[in-house]
Amino acid sequence: MKSEKISELTTNRLSVYLRCLNDLVTEGAKTVSSDGLAKRFHLNSAQIRKDLAYFGEFGVRGVGYYIENLRDQLTKILGLEKEHRVAIIGAGRLGTALADYYGFTQTNFSVAGLFDADSKKIGQTIGGVEIFDIKNFADIAKRDKIDVAVIAVPAPFAQNVLEQVAEAGIKAVMNFAPTPLRVENDVKLKTVDLTISLESLSYFLAQPNGSNSKNLKSNSNRRRIKQVEKV
Amino acid sequence: MKSEKISELTTNRLSVYLRCLNDLVTEGAKTVSSDGLAKRFHLNSAQIRKDLAYFGEFGVRGVGYYIENLRDQLTKILGLEKEHRVAIIGAGRLGTALADYYGFTQTNFSVAGLFDADSKKIGQTIGGVEIFDIKNFADIAKRDKIDVAVIAVPAPFAQNVLEQVAEAGIKAVMNFAPTPLRVENDVKLKTVDLTISLESLSYFLAQPNGSNSKNLKSNSNRRRIKQVEKV
């Protein structure tokens, strides 16, 4: 670790841990060990310990983690105790699909508005969400306390949209346009590449008998990995 | 590592490495070290070495990785030297958005068909992709050599669809319905949860000054992490 930055892979994993802990709370469990958590949800226990160690000492020797406490801590670390208001830019197929995405309704993210440049779309409502004129983005963002923007426009328009939302003071942007974007340092840009998930499936299909475990090297190499993981 | 399975987080990272290597090939670079790769693309060099070590010895001491060679190896490991034919189940907003997703056209995944139960939609074409009757899924999957299914139906229908595509012999399924699904052991199911990306942005917003590095503990803890990473 040359840098002290927490990587997105780490925060993504914290999100996953949080989901797992929520499941365990629902089931009425009180404590769980990193091994127990790993086994139950197909995670890596060394990775769990390492990820959590960035943020503090949550585990209790011989007990493991107090589930509700750890859930609350992760919620706070991820900034999820506060509501976030999301603007979706682009009221095409993907944008309207996202406005309607049931997953968001179960979180503390709420879609505040769709934005588009097409006058035929402006004023319409999709899944309870109004489509506004992108020209008025800055004003509406301020009025509706929007703090996250989702870019769902065709790739050639994405950079322009990004600059517009950044100018309006938005610091967190999720980009679905499959194109690299340039961004100011104080804006966090996350590009969602749906092909990565497909490639993961491709890996699975490439294994003989559809198994996940066939591409490994010799035993000696496996042993070395084990040591790395156990530190 | 108690299990020999390669986790999805690992295969996801391999996909990311592959993209980075493609960028470097385009730029004309010949070799890169794990540190160089990490620095350039904001990755973790110890993680890169560990991930690659699962599959072989790709690095050359004092040289690093031969970029084209490593790219070809990762392509093969991920099964990306062969074309995959994708069926999208659900011709609603999300399904049609995915059929149209530009990112897929740049990969070796091609959308073979959309499937729906709505007779008004069947026979239509979206972005060059025909909407078929879900009733005929098994026949069309066989005829068109479909090997990946994407579930983009509302959550209550997802389990039923999953069983139907599994019965038709599909072994790799990407699920966008935000609901847990039960699946046979020989089918690889990947549920894409778009809220995880949003939560990662939330983490960023929760940091003072929008920085990524403020939530760390004391120096001593940081040092400990450094040691873990360097093994």
If one counts every other C-beta atom within 10 angstroms of the C-beta of residue B90, the result is: 26
Q: Tell me, yes or no, whether A214 lies in a domain.
A: yes
Per-residue pLDDT reduced to its tens digit, B129-184: 999 999 999 999 999 999 999 999 988 899 999 999 999 999 999 998 877 788 88
* Residue finishing a domain among A77, A92, A120: A77
pTM: 0.71
Portion of chain A with pLDDT greater than 70, in percent: 86
Q: In whole numbers, what is the pLDDT of chain B averaged over residues?
A: 83
Q: Tell me, yes or no, whether A114 lies in a domain.
A: yes
Which residues from A are below 8 Å from B202, CB to CB? 78-80, 84, 109, 148, 172
Same domain, B187 and B100: yes
Per-residue pLDDT reduced to its tens digit, A182-205: 888 889 998 887 787 788 888 888
Q: Tell me, yes or no, whether B127 lies in a domain.
A: yes
DSSP, res B143: H
Same domain, A186 and A220: no
3-state helix, strand, coil in chain B (%, to 5): 50, 15, 35
Per-residue pLDDT reduced to its tens digit, B21-74: 988 998 999 999 999 998 888 788 888 999 999 888 888 888 899 999 999 999
Same domain, B177 and B209: no
Q: Collapsing DSSP states into helix, strand and coil, what is residue A43?
A: coil
Which residue in this structure is represented by tokens 């769980």? A32
The predicted structure's pLDDT at residue B230: 26
Same domain, B98 and B182: yes
Q: What's the CATH number where A114 sits? A: 3.40.50.720
CA distance A204 to A211: 7
Q: Tell me, yes or no, whether B2 lies in a domain.
A: no
If one counts every other C-beta atom within 10 angstroms of the C-beta of residue A220, the result is: 7
Q: Tell me, yes or no, whether A1 lies in a domain.
A: no
Q: Tell me, yes or no, whether B3 lies in a domain.
A: no
Interface of B with A in 102-131 (CB under 8 A): 102-104, 106-107, 109
- Contact state of B53 with A224 under an 8 Å Cβ cutoff: yes
Same domain, A213 and A155: no
Same domain, A187 and A202: no
* Residue finishing a domain among B44, B77, B110: B77
Range of the domain at A65: 8-77
Q: Tell me, yes or no, whether B1 lies in a domain.
A: no
Q: Where are the alpha helices (DSSP H) in A82-218?
A: 93-99, 102-105, 137-143, 155-167, 194-206
In contact, B85 and B148? CB cutoff 8 Å: yes
CA distance B228 to A23: 30
Same domain, A200 and A187: no
Kindly report which listed range (A112-116, A137-141, A176-180, B115-119) carries the lowest average pLDDT score: A176-180
Same domain, B93 and B160: yes
Same domain, B160 and B110: yes
CA distance B10 to B74: 12
The total number of structural domains that make up chain A: 3
In contact, B159 and B181? CB cutoff 8 Å: yes
Confidence of residue A209 (pLDDT cuts 50, 70, 90): low
Same domain, B128 and B178: yes
Same domain, A99 and A186: yes
- Contact state of A86 with B53 under an 8 Å Cβ cutoff: no
Q: Tell me, yes or no, whether A147 lies in a domain.
A: yes
Cα first-last separation, chain B: 15
* Residue ranges with strand state E in chain A: 31-32, 65-66, 84-89, 109-116, 125-126, 129-133, 148-151, 172-175, 188-191
Query: Is B51 at the interface with chain A, CB within 8 A?
Result: no
* Residue finishing a domain among A32, A52, A77: A77
Which residues from A are below 8 Å from B199, CB to CB? 11, 14-15, 18, 78, 80, 107
Q: What's the CATH number where B59 sits? A: 1.10.10.10
Which residues from A are below 8 Å from B5, CB to CB? 42, 212-213
Q: Which residue has the higher pLDDT, A213 or B111?
A: B111
The predicted structure's pLDDT at residue B209: 58
